[in-house]
């Protein structure tokens, strides 16, 4: 029996293929940021044949059209996530389990605008992610 692929996924970018739809479905199902290899493994677990190179290419094209959020880790790994909101936001990420919460930028937005104005810049964008331990992981460590 062949797994079903959600055909209602909107066309993201110039091509809408079976592989692209499968990657988007996995991204929508995952709650946390995930690497291309993790996404590929999840596709394999679902018996969806999508090559790792195709996963990387799809993630890059989704990044190019801002259909996914990207997190560049200090170890050089790039993680991807389909976010609930299309509004500008930031993330609170647990450094132990990877739990991710979308958060409003609040004071970061004001600070970024003020710093740009002070130095004669016009703000065109910024990224701010907050890392820490979620309540569950912090409780396990104590």
Binding site listing: 88, 94, 97, 109, 126, 134, 137
Task: Please provide residue 122's backbone torsions phi and psi, each rounded to the nearest 5 degrees.
Answer: -105, 125
Burial of 88 (0-12, 13-18, 19+ CB in 10 A): exposed
Annotated binding-site residue numbers for Zn(2+): 94, 97, 134, 137
| Rounded Cα–Cα distance for residues 52 and 45 (Å) | 13
CA distances from 142 to 14, 37, 100, 132 (A): 50, 32, 21, 15
Helix (H) or strand (E) run with residue 22 in it: helix 18-29
| Rounded Cα–Cα distance for residues 39 and 33 (Å) | 10
Annotated binding-site residue numbers for Fe cation: 88, 109, 126
Which one, of 108, 85, 97, 107, lies nearest residue 132 by Cα?
Answer: 97
């Amino acid at each position: 029996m062949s797994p079903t692929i959600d055909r209602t996924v909107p066309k993201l970018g110039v091509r809408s293929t079976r592989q692209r739809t499968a990657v988007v479905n996995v991204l929508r199902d995952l709650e946390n940021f995930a690497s291309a290899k993790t996404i590929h493994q999840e596709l394999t677990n679902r018996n969806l044949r999508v090559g790792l190179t195709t996963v990387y290419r799809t993630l890059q094209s989704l990044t190019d059209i801002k259909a996914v959020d990207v997190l560049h880790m200090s170890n050089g790994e790039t993680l991807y996530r389909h976010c609930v909101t299309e509004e500008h936001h930031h993330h609170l990420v647990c450094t132990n389990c990877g739990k991710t919460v979308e958060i409003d930028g609040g004071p970061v937005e004001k600070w970024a605008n003020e710093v740009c104005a002070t130095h004669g810049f016009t703000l065109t964008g910024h990224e701010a992610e907050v890392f820490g331990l979620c309540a569950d992981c912090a409780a396990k460590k104590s």
